[in-house]
Chains A and B, each alone.
Chain A
Amino acid sequence: MTSIGVYYFGAISLILIGLYAILTKRNLLKILVGLSIMETGVNLLLISVGYVRNATAPILSDYATPTNVVDPIPQALVLTAIVIGVATTALALSVAINVYERYNTLDIEKIRGLRG
């Protein structure tokens, strides 16, 4: 397997591990951890898309020429995605605290105020 293949494999595995946690775990916090793992996987995938072998960081300098830098766009995208992910996680955790205060449990099987 080439080196870039390792990244793709790792990224997709992370996405699937996260999805598995979201779909099967009963603890709300574990679901949120799964969400974060999935997000890391997607970010890793985006970063590996812009990877160029033996290239340097895309910062304007004497060493960086158009041919030997990695693609900067995925890095900008991932930076945005990380910030969005932080916002989502922060909001989700604060709502989870609220859920725990009202129901005294984080087990999603027992949080069943809404039915029908």
Chain B
Amino acid sequence: MIEHLPALVIAIPLFGAFITPLFRKRYNLAALWAILISGLTLVLVLLLEYQVLTKGMMIYVFGADKPTLVLPSGYRVPIRIMFQVDGIGAFMAISAGLMSFVGAVYSYSHLQKETGLEKYYTLLLLLTAGILGMVLTGDLFNLFVFLEIASIAGSALVGFRNYRGEASEAGIKYLIVSSVASLMVLFAVGILYGQYGHLNLAYLSKQITFNPLDMIALGLLFTSFAMKCGSVPMHYWVPDAYTEVPSGINPPLLVSTYASLYALFRVSFTLFGKITIDMATVGWIMSILGVLTMFIGVTMALVQKDVKRLMSYHAISQTGYMLLGVGVGLTVFHDKQALIEFGRTAMAGGVFHIINHIIYKSLLLLTAGALFYVTGTRNLNEMGGLARKMPITTISFMVGAAAISGIPPFNGFASKFLIYEAVYKLNPLLAIFAMVTSILTLASFVKVFASAFLGPPLEKYEKVREVPKPMIVAMVILAALCVLFGLFPDFVLDKIVYPAVDALINFIQYQSWGGLA
């Protein structure tokens, strides 16, 4: 069974998704089924990570037991679809499994008043399958297919509350942005296939020569994945989509955004890793995009009144840290000494920040969902004095807010500190921008805390009680992870982050299909 893990990780959520519509009108059963399936997926991805860490890169070929098919003429080429799971792929898979589980648990009681929930859980599981496919696949066209699965499921979920015009508006916006991005990815796939006649990432990356057509393909892939991961100046869809989506979907939707970020890294580091001269330019573009993203995101967040919209702008801003960290690594990618000195640390900071951000931003968006659940509004000016009524939500919010602002001992500090330290060595100015952003982040969360939780208790919220248990469980899991990752950053760094970073750096190993070619 172990050797079939990469396929099972996709097959189980897909199977679960197609069974879910059978629980028509029995919403509790559908919810329990979704929790069961996503829990099983979580166990499988943890096993997968364990396998990858102990045995090295895993390769799974659909329809054959070996990836290399030797033709009678002795010509060895990969002609089948294969999944190639290395450190960074398994790292993203853990985030996806964890967040879809948390999302399913949270949705159990958050959505009691809605209808059509069996479709909701179907889409949730489909979204999970799409993300997992994106991060595990080793085939360029397969990447496009899973990207489309994730974006169709994601946009249907954004427009789930179809009785609200705003939800449909956000849904169609997200759908159009994703479709244009995916079509551009397909365009690039066509260009690359036309030249090299292959779709396998590892094989393509060996052949690439970086002629003008390859440059166009790199530009298209870079732009479309940057668009889908919400980097400035293509960030406009993020606040709408994150605000309108039901809070239980926020965690998986965040991971789907960062699956595109993963694809961006995969394209820059593996597919075009061989190009020695121009990668520094791409790295600088990525770093500067990162700084712009974090700064514009946080300044937009400061003026928001809608609590989820404010947090969505922070999600944009935090994406900037990941782009900055990994971009610095890419800048010095072919400079061996600088890479060892600070490039690897910067990348570790960026990659570590992905999982940290997914955890604390999901936590914050879930607490925002809890506030919406009890008050029925997202407007900060209409809330107040909720701290006494909802102690656990308040504490979860405080943990999340401290983590996002980079206050020790929470997880945000651990990754931000690595980024500051390493980025300072490349260019002090970039690090200063990153620190200023962090301070502004703290300022805006103090505002949320003061207006929602502090102040005199309002009369209309007299009967407010703490949210139901499944929502509390979901929030407490994430809050505990925030604290644990903050207290033991070295453990997480050594176990999952550095293997992921090394997988990006050692693209030669990826090219060899684990020594099979």
Which residues of A are interface residues toward B (Cβ below 8 A)?
15, 19, 22, 28, 31-32, 35, 38-39, 42, 45-46, 49, 71, 73-74, 77, 80-81, 84, 87-88, 91-92, 95-96, 98-99, 102-103, 111, 113-114, 116
Q: Is the CB of A95 within 8 A of B240?
A: no
Instruction: Give, as a whole number of angstroms, the nearest-CB distance from B288 to chain A.
Output: 25
* Alpha-carbon distance between A45 and B194 when the two chains are bound, in angstroms: 9
* Alpha-carbon distance between A88 and B162 when the two chains are bound, in angstroms: 17
> How many residues in B have their beta carbons less than 8 Å from beta carbons of A?
40
Enumerate chain B residues within 8 angstroms of A80, measured Cβ to Cβ: 141, 145
B171-187 toward A: CB 8 Å interface, digit per residue (1/0)?
11001100110110011
* Alpha-carbon distance between A111 and B167 when the two chains are bound, in angstroms: 12
Closest 5 CB pairs of A and B: A102-B165, A49-B194, A113-B166, A98-B168, A46-B190
Enumerate chain B residues within 8 angstroms of A98, measured Cβ to Cβ: 159, 162, 165, 168
Given A42-B183, A81-B186, also A22-B169 (CB < 8 A):
no
For B178, the closest partner residue in chain A by CB is A88
Enumerate chain A residues within 8 angstroms of B165, measured Cβ to Cβ: 98-99, 102-103, 111, 113
Q: Is the CB of B190 within 8 A of A92?
A: no
* Alpha-carbon distance between A92 and B168 when the two chains are bound, in angstroms: 10
Enumerate chain A residues within 8 angstroms of B169, measured Cβ to Cβ: 99, 103, 111, 113-114
Binds A, one of B148-156, B325-333, B394-402: B148-156
Q: Is the CB of A95 within 8 A of B168?
A: yes
Enumerate chain A residues within 8 angstroms of B293, measured Cβ to Cβ: none
Q: Is the CB of A95 within 8 A of B175?
A: yes
* Alpha-carbon distance between A80 and B454 when the two chains are bound, in angstroms: 54
Instruction: Give, as a whole number of angstroms, the nearest-CB distance from B407 to chain A.
Output: 27
**CB-contact partner of B172 in A28, A71, A73, under 8 A:** A28
Which residues of B are interface residues toward A (Cβ below 8 A)?
141, 144-145, 148, 152, 155-156, 159, 162, 164-166, 168-172, 175-176, 179-180, 182-183, 186-187, 189-190, 193-194, 197, 199, 239-240, 243-244, 303-306, 309
Q: Is the CB of A39 within 8 A of B303?
A: no
Q: Is the CB of A91 within 8 A of B156?
A: yes
**CB-contact partner of A96 in B145, B172, B303, B305, under 8 A:** B172
Q: Is the CB of B176 within 8 A of A22?
A: yes
Name which of A38, A73, A116 has the most chain B CB atoms within 10 A of its CB: A116
Q: Is the CB of B193 within 8 A of A74?
A: yes
Enumerate chain A residues within 8 angstroms of B179, measured Cβ to Cβ: 35, 39, 88, 92
For A87, the closest partner residue in chain B by CB is B152
Enumerate chain A residues within 8 angstroms of B305, measured Cβ to Cβ: 116
Q: Is the CB of B186 within 8 A of A88?
A: no
* Alpha-carbon distance between A32 and B303 when the two chains are bound, in angstroms: 33
For A77, the closest partner residue in chain B by CB is B141
Instruction: Give, as a whole number of angstroms, the nearest-CB distance from B123 to chain A.
Output: 11
Instruction: Give, as a whole number of angstroms, the nearest-CB distance from B258 to chain A.
Output: 22
